[in-house]
Structure 1
Amino acid sequence: MIASTRRPERLPIAVKAVAALGLGLSLAIARPGGPPAVRAADDGLGTRSTAVYTVQPDQHRVHVDVQVSATNQKSDTQSVRYYFVSAGFFLQPEATHLRATAEGRTLDTTVRARTGYSVLEVRFGRNLYHGQAIAMRISYDLPGGAPRSRADIRVESAFVSFTAWSFGDAGDVRVEMPAGFASSVIGGPMDVNGLQEAGQSLTASDVTDPASWFAVVTGDRPDALSSEPITLGGGERFVVRGWPEDTVWRTRVADRLERGLPILERLVGLRWPVRGDLEVTERAAAVLEGYAGFYLTDENRIEISEELDDLTIVHETSHAWFNQRLFGERWINEGLADTYATLTLGELGLAWQPIPMPNRTSSAAFPLPLVSWPPPGRIVDTTTEARELYGYNASHAVIDGLVREVGPAKMRDVFSAADGRAIAYVGAPPAESIGGAVDWRRFLDYVQERGGSTGAEALIRKWVVDAAGAKELDARDAARAAYARLVEHGQAHGQPWLPPMSVRSPMAHWTFQLATTRIGEAEGVLVTRDSIATEAANVGVTVPASLRSAYQSAIADLGPVQAQADRELGVLRAIGDAGREAGAARDVWVQLGLLGGVEPMTRVEAARADFQADDMTAAQAAVDDAGRLLDGAGVVGRERVAGAVRVALFVALVLAVLVAWIVRRRRRVARRAAVAALTQAAVPDAAAPYGTLAANLPTEGRPPPAAPAAGQADGWPGASAPMDPLTGAEHGDED
């Protein structure tokens, strides 16, 4: 794949070449009985040719041998007899050692130079009448020009380049290449026959339109190139391969690589991307299709013109970085290659041809802007050349302006992001990779977001995009304004809250309608965050980091983040309400209800601690506990008072019963003591003699006294209770 090309230097030989034509230059008219009269004729001489081009590298030339058969096809009239005395052919202007022969003799020739070609006249040496023919042989050499000469022919030991023409009205063309040369053809067409090792033959048969037929023939013999390996301090390896005859070119290229690449690598800031050897090969300017150089990425090979152009050498080397692997559009890579080549040459103290500012209104300007600059193609005319020059110059104008504004240091950040396919809009985590090619859209994002450019969009609008691209930029402007406000909003309250991927991804992919929707969702989260910060300050807590982390790491839907924010805010407000309620003055009932129990403020403090520990469930539960404690304290207080009253009444009743019992018991004890005293007084003295009352003994002949009736005290006729011996009162037994 051709990654890039260097700007055109001059038109290729295909533009200068003119196919050979057979010309009847003069026609003699003989009248019977008189001298011939001469007048011009436009046709009547038919020519057919077989041209053989033999490449002779050892003699630095191509030998050409043309066999021509000329036949007079002009019919005579009754009064005029026509005959030809010469034939004309177009000839390469470089032809030397020209010789024409026929019928064993040398023919007279005349060569007249024209711009880009010569006209050869070959005189037959006799009159060629109607129906007569002459076989001629024309031979000449095409000498190879020295490197950097104006000649378009090169015949070196390792490289051959020339243009083959056909001759006459019709003909065949054959090119004989020496062994070892690999042949290729531009134009023609020509068939390639044989093997490279033995020598190839290129043929074209029955060329009937010589005016438009040509073939640029090239041959390469890689094993004959002089090779010079170069290894730089950073391990970069080159092989400079040039024509053995051109030591000046090899010396210049090697010097510019050795001194220029370290500077170029530092300016770009990316590692050397080429694995193995980068081959730099010398090519003839004519075969580069109008360009000064090519970088072939798939082959790790640079082809540079034999011209000693320092800008081209460094430009093509920079394409090791600046190719489709880094940026997907031609104008970006070519503009960077030119700009960084000039920066490198500036540090080396070398001069270069200034790159002009293009005229956007010139006829060379594209029908469409740089975004539509086509891939490089063969430059076959001045229109194509002018278009290519405009593309290179306009690309340089854009990139040079950007690099001058942001500087190489910031551009290194741009290159690093592009190399990693990182998202231009940076969030909290390391920049995510979003893949895909870096077109003008992402390039603009990079130079603004990573490079800090303020003038990039104006340059893009002026030089790069068409009307459709301008509309995209309009939509982008509105989205970027909203994005900037979101970023600014995120800076509030100390620690910044950077936009999440759910916002940054549609911004990077230029889906601005979705981006605007996501920005609105993100603003909603930040508004809730602001309320959380206010409530947290009032409550006296630190907001946990989880919400910020969830916001910054959101990939798509911000709904869960908003729900988390709403919950945090709800818990905070509940904590604040609970704290105010727990700290308010309490009536006697609440105080009595909380007496000896859990203080609600301790649950509020627990809720604060749980909130800071990012345990919203526990925090809400603690708040609920505090609320339940306060809500139930008044009832509990009243219940406690009522219960105390009930207990007091019960205690009083118990005390009353107890007092009554005690009084009764004391009376009984006292009574028994009195009875005991009386009883003791009635007992005779132990020393006194015993006696028995006669009255208690039954008299003889009388019945004993009857048993006491029911309800009467024992031994006390007619009494229901014993009588207190002291007071004479009656009382029952006491337990």
Structure 2
Amino acid sequence: MMLASRGRLVLGLLAVLLASGFAVAPPAAGEVRAASPDLTLVGDARYDVQPQNRRVRVTFDLVATNHLQDTATQRFYYDQTFLQVQAGTTGFALTSATGSPSVRVTKRTADYTNIRLTFGQRIFSGKSASFRLRFDLPDPGGRAGRDVRVGRSLVSFPAWGFGSSSTPGGSVTVMFPSGYTIEVFGGAFSAPATGPGGTVTYASGRLADPATFSAFFLADRPASYVESTATAKVAGSDVKLTVRSWSDDPAWGTRVTGLFERGLPVIASEVGLPWTRTGSLVVQETVSRTTGGYAGLFDPSAGRIEVAYYADSFVILHEASHSWFNGALLTDRWANEAFASYYALVAAAKLKEKADAGTLTPQLRQARIPLNAWGAVSAAAGTSEDYAYAASLALATEIGKRAGPEGLRRIWEAAAAHEGAYQAAGGGAAETVPGAPDWRGLLDLLEDKTGKRFDDLWRAWVVRDTEAPLLDARATARSDYNRLVADAGPWRLPGAIRAAMRGWQFDDATTLMAGARAVLARRTDVQSAAAAAGLALPNRLETAFESSDGVAAANDEADAELSTIQAIVAAANARPATTGPLEQLGLVGAAPGAQLVAARAAFTQGDLSAAARGAASARAAWAGASDAGLNRALAAAATLLLILLALVGVASSRRVARRRSSLERRGADL
């Protein structure tokens, strides 16, 4: 993912380069006009780029013509005139084949320089005279965004045509030494011609109105870089900075190094996240061409930031903020650009750096797009790109006001940990999501971590028309979810519900929540049944409800618990109020009361199988006590009868034996 910054959030090169409001065209109405209608100036202007001297040498070969006509009593002539040339020009010289002409500056403004041309001769009616005006457009140095830069690495300057208003003729020629890649903005030139030694010449041809002709040249060529290193202390880590500035622009390196050294620690403190990048962060000077028309471009995969030579403090701090907002923390381009701009302004304020992020003007609002429609970094973007930069910052500002600094830090901490919204109640390990949050996940985190609403901002700034119904469905589902959370009390909702809410699968979430609500109703039934039975409930139903199987597991558990409660109640109901002899006999060796106590204890401990078995045994013992007593009594009676019969038999046998013995003795006596 490539992150880019607009120069003052305006793409048009002239607005980017000429940040001071420099006049790239001659003033429409100067304080002194170039020449009266009766005296015309027509000529050829040549601009010679001289990087070795850090200047553009301008030569204007002009012809001054007096169009007045003498009368019988008067002769008319001109011996001077006025001309407006670019601001900041120096080294004026005026020469002619005749006379002793001279030139003098009469006024300087930020937009132009007014000069007096003294011809050193009289130009009478109907006569013309030729002159050569020479002056320089020097590179003044200083401000990075200055309008005229002439060096080995970069050349930028405005080229004007000169002459009398509405007077055709003349031309503009611009000559560059070899090696530059040149762009021309404004003006009409033929295809450039390459001359001896690789010099490149642009020629306008004959001009219809040279006084209104203007162009702006931007040229760069492969630079030799000077590397410097520095170390910034960022969130307790030493961050190595490698700053690569053009060899002829050391001021850029000094300025950018200082801002990164001071800015990164402030941004880290405000964002509240540690520094996680490894290796050196490389910051390299460039022109906007190499950054696709942007004043800054961050390539997080390479750890390299390209910053335009003219970038101001806001752009530099914006790029520094991309060390965090680079696609790893947040997914969407608008969110990364929004908060890179937001923290750039926060840091600038704390560092007391002047930072101009631009404003969302009525003109930009006419190019409005939903921020979700903002495409990837592109050199072909236009006003919509400028709108998106300004609008995303406006949105981030509103979010920051509503969330507060600490609220934002909580959100970034959660996003960095891949922590999703809709966390389970009661703490525990956070549930994570794959990847960084997109616009949906960011909205959920904002509302979850701050307890405030942000969906109105999403409707106003973010979503496309086709995405707006999602916000409606979300509002309904979240209301249902919040009620369900309240109804569940200490219970955590099934993970499938939270996952569906995080994934914005609101139809699925609604179906799952209906099932969960039915389980909570059954929880009431189970609680009532247990209370009526004097039983303490185990936590099995809660565990099942919170499990991965959720509603289905909870319903099965509710069935099991209700069935076990009914078994225990049935066992208790089977216990006789009083026991007769038969019941007492039937219960000899059984302990249904102890079994019921054990069953109740097993239920409370969550062992439903043991509870059901114990209750069934106790119920069966009490219910069968009478029959068991009768059976035992009959068995005892039968046993006694058998014993009596056996005793009778033994006694009878003994009598018979005694009688036989007696008879045998009698016979012996006989």
Task: Report the TM-score, using the length of structure 1 for normalisation.
Answer: 0.66
C-alpha displacement at 1:203, in angstroms? 6.8
Amino acid at match of 2:479: A
| 2:419 maps to 1:422 | yes
SS at match of 1:513: helix
Residues 4 and 330, structure 1, Cα contact 8 Å, conserved in 2: no
C-alpha displacement at 1:502, in angstroms? 1.0
C-alpha displacement at 1:263, in angstroms? 3.4
State the match for 2:485 in structure 1.
487
1:303-322 to 2 correspondences below 5 Å: 303=307, 306=310, 309=313, 311-322=314-325
Q: Structure 1 residues 290, 219: CA separation in 2 closer, same or farther (over 3 Å shift)? A: closer
Residues 291 and 306, structure 2, Cα contact 8 Å, conserved in 1: no
State the match for 1:327 in structure 2.
330
Q: Provide, for residues 206-260 of structure 1, a one-character-per-residue CA deviation record: whole Å limited to 9, x for no partner.
A: 8899989956423255434463433536121112344667666655544443344
SS at match of 1:487: helix
State the match for 2:556 in structure 1.
564
Larger radius of gyration: 1
Q: Structure 1 residues 380, 489: CA separation in 2 closer, same or farther (over 3 Å shift)? A: closer
SS at match of 2:430: coil
Q: Structure 1 residues 643, 106: CA separation in 2 closer, same or farther (over 3 Å shift)? A: farther
**Residues in 1 aligned to 2:301 and 2:161: alpha-carbon distance in whole angstroms:** 36
Amino acid at match of 2:589: G
**Residues in 2 aligned to 1:628 and 1:457: alpha-carbon distance in whole angstroms:** 63
1:637-656 to 2 correspondences below 5 Å: 637-656=629-648
Which has the higher mean CA deviation after the structures are superposed, 299-308 or 568-577? 299-308
State the match for 1:301 in structure 2.
305
State the match for 2:493 in structure 1.
499
State the match for 1:398 in structure 2.
398
Q: Provide, for residues 132-191 of structure 1, a one-character-per-residue CA deviation record: whole Å limited to 9, x for no partner.
A: xx9999876432232217741112455433356799989997753566xx7464758999
C-alpha displacement at 1:507, in angstroms? 1.2
Amino acid at match of 1:60: R
**Residues in 2 aligned to 1:652 and 1:290: alpha-carbon distance in whole angstroms:** 123
**Residues in 1 aligned to 2:568 and 2:108: alpha-carbon distance in whole angstroms:** 103
| 2:139 maps to 1:144 | yes
State the match for 2:519 in structure 1.
525
Q: Which of 40, 56, 68 is residue 62 of structure 1 equivalent to?
A: 56
Q: Which of 11, 16, 19 is residue 12 of structure 1 equivalent to?
A: 16
**Residues in 2 aligned to 1:414 and 1:392: alpha-carbon distance in whole angstroms:** 18
C-alpha displacement at 1:288, in angstroms? 8.6
C-alpha displacement at 1:415, in angstroms? 0.9
**Residues in 1 aligned to 2:115 and 2:661: alpha-carbon distance in whole angstroms:** 174
SS at match of 2:231: strand
Q: Structure 1 residues 351, 100: CA separation in 2 closer, same or farther (over 3 Å shift)? A: closer
C-alpha displacement at 1:480, in angstroms? 1.4
State the match for 1:595 in structure 2.
588
**Residues in 1 aligned to 2:336 and 2:525: alpha-carbon distance in whole angstroms:** 49
C-alpha displacement at 1:4, in angstroms? 3.7
**Residues in 2 aligned to 1:329 and 1:399: alpha-carbon distance in whole angstroms:** 16
SS at match of 2:238: coil
**Residues in 1 aligned to 2:506 and 2:139: alpha-carbon distance in whole angstroms:** 61
State the match for 2:438 in structure 1.
439
Residues 162 and 216, structure 1, Cα contact 8 Å, conserved in 2: yes
| 2:156 maps to 1:161 | yes
| 2:476 maps to 1:473 | no
Residues 3 and 299, structure 2, Cα contact 8 Å, conserved in 1: yes
State the match for 1:219 in structure 2.
220
Q: Structure 1 residues 260, 662: CA separation in 2 closer, same or farther (over 3 Å shift)? A: same
1:50-89 to 2 correspondences below 5 Å: 53-56=48-51, 58-63=52-57
Q: Structure 1 residues 367, 558: CA separation in 2 closer, same or farther (over 3 Å shift)? A: farther
Q: Structure 1 residues 170, 593: CA separation in 2 closer, same or farther (over 3 Å shift)? A: farther
Q: Provide, for residues 593-650 of structure 1, a one-character-per-residue CA deviation record: whole Å limited to 9, x for no partner.
A: 34235x3455545655665665555554554444554555444333333333433444
State the match for 1:240 in structure 2.
243
State the match for 2:78 in structure 1.
none
Which has the higher mean CA deviation after the structures are superposed, 657-666 or 286-295? 286-295
Aligned length: 622
C-alpha displacement at 1:272, in angstroms? 1.8
C-alpha displacement at 1:268, in angstroms? 1.8
**Residues in 2 aligned to 1:120 and 1:373: alpha-carbon distance in whole angstroms:** 52
**Residues in 2 aligned to 1:120 and 1:606: alpha-carbon distance in whole angstroms:** 113
SS at match of 1:236: strand
C-alpha displacement at 1:500, in angstroms? 2.6
Q: Provide, for residues 275-327 of structure 1, a one-character-per-residue CA deviation record: whole Å limited to 9, x for no partner.
A: 32223345689999997655454552151665764x55433311211233322
Q: Structure 1 residues 531, 103: CA separation in 2 closer, same or farther (over 3 Å shift)? A: farther
Residues 8 and 16, structure 2, Cα contact 8 Å, conserved in 1: no
C-alpha displacement at 1:369, in angstroms? 6.6
Amino acid at match of 2:521: V
Q: Which of 486, 502, 510 is residue 504 of structure 2 equivalent to?
A: 510
**Residues in 2 aligned to 1:170 and 1:297: alpha-carbon distance in whole angstroms:** 51
Q: Structure 1 residues 316, 225: CA separation in 2 closer, same or farther (over 3 Å shift)? A: same
Which structure 2 segments of 5+ residues have no match? 27-33, 64-81, 163-167
Residues 368 and 466, structure 1, Cα contact 8 Å, conserved in 2: no
SS at match of 2:277: coil
Amino acid at match of 1:440: W
C-alpha displacement at 1:50, in angstroms? 10
**Residues in 1 aligned to 2:327 and 2:653: alpha-carbon distance in whole angstroms:** 115
Q: Structure 1 residues 103, 424: CA separation in 2 closer, same or farther (over 3 Å shift)? A: farther
Residues 281 and 303, structure 1, Cα contact 8 Å, conserved in 2: yes
Amino acid at match of 1:449: D
**Residues in 2 aligned to 1:107 and 1:164: alpha-carbon distance in whole angstroms:** 25
C-alpha displacement at 1:472, in angstroms? 3.4
**Residues in 2 aligned to 1:653 and 1:380: alpha-carbon distance in whole angstroms:** 120
Residues 545 and 551, structure 2, Cα contact 8 Å, conserved in 1: no
CA RMSD of aligned residues (A): 5.7
